[in-house]
Amino acid sequence: MDVETAIRTRRTHKAFAPEALPREQIDELLELGSWAPNHNLTVPWRFRVIGPQTLERLKEIAGPEGAAKLDRAPTLVVVSCVLNGDPVEEEEDLHATAAASYIVLLATHARGFAGYWRTPGLLRGEEGRAAVGLPEGERFVGLLHLGYPRQEKPAPERPGADRTTTYLD
**Tens digit of pLDDT for each residue in 82-112?**
999 999 999 999 999 999 999 999 999 999 9
Residue 144 placed within a domain? yes
Structural domain harbouring 92: 3-164
Residue 92 placed within a domain? yes
Residue 157 predicted with pLDDT over 80: no
DSSP per position, 90-146: HHHHHHHHHHHHHHHHHHHHHTT-EEEEE--GGGTSHHHHHHTT--TTEEEEEEEEE
Number of folded domains in the chain?
A: 1
As separate numbers, helices (DSSP H) first and strands (DSSP E) second, the chain gives 6, 4
Residue 156 placed within a domain? yes
CB atoms within 10 A of CB 48: 16
Residue 96 placed within a domain? yes
Residue 39 predicted with pLDDT over 90: no
Find residue 140's DSSP bridge partners. 80
Whether residue 80 contacts residue 138, with contact meaning beta carbons closer than 8 Å, is answered with yes
Find residue 12's DSSP bridge partners. 115
| pLDDT value of position 54 | 96
| pLDDT value of position 35 | 96
Mean residue pLDDT across the chain: 93
Q: Which residue has the higher pLDDT, 167 or 107?
A: 107
Residue 149 placed within a domain? yes
Backbone angles phi, psi at 10, to 5 degrees: -65, 140
The CATH code of the domain that includes 58 is 3.40.109.10
Residue 169 placed within a domain? no
Q: What gap in Å lies between CA 132 and CA 58, rounded to an integer?
A: 8
The predicted model scores a pTM of: 0.92
Residue 89 placed within a domain? yes
Residue 158 predicted with pLDDT over 80: no
Residue 49 placed within a domain? yes
| pLDDT value of position 12 | 87
| pLDDT value of position 161 | 65
Output the CA angle 115-118-122, nearest 5 degrees.
140
Residue 126 predicted with pLDDT over 80: yes
Q: What is the average per-residue pLDDT within 37-46?
A: 93
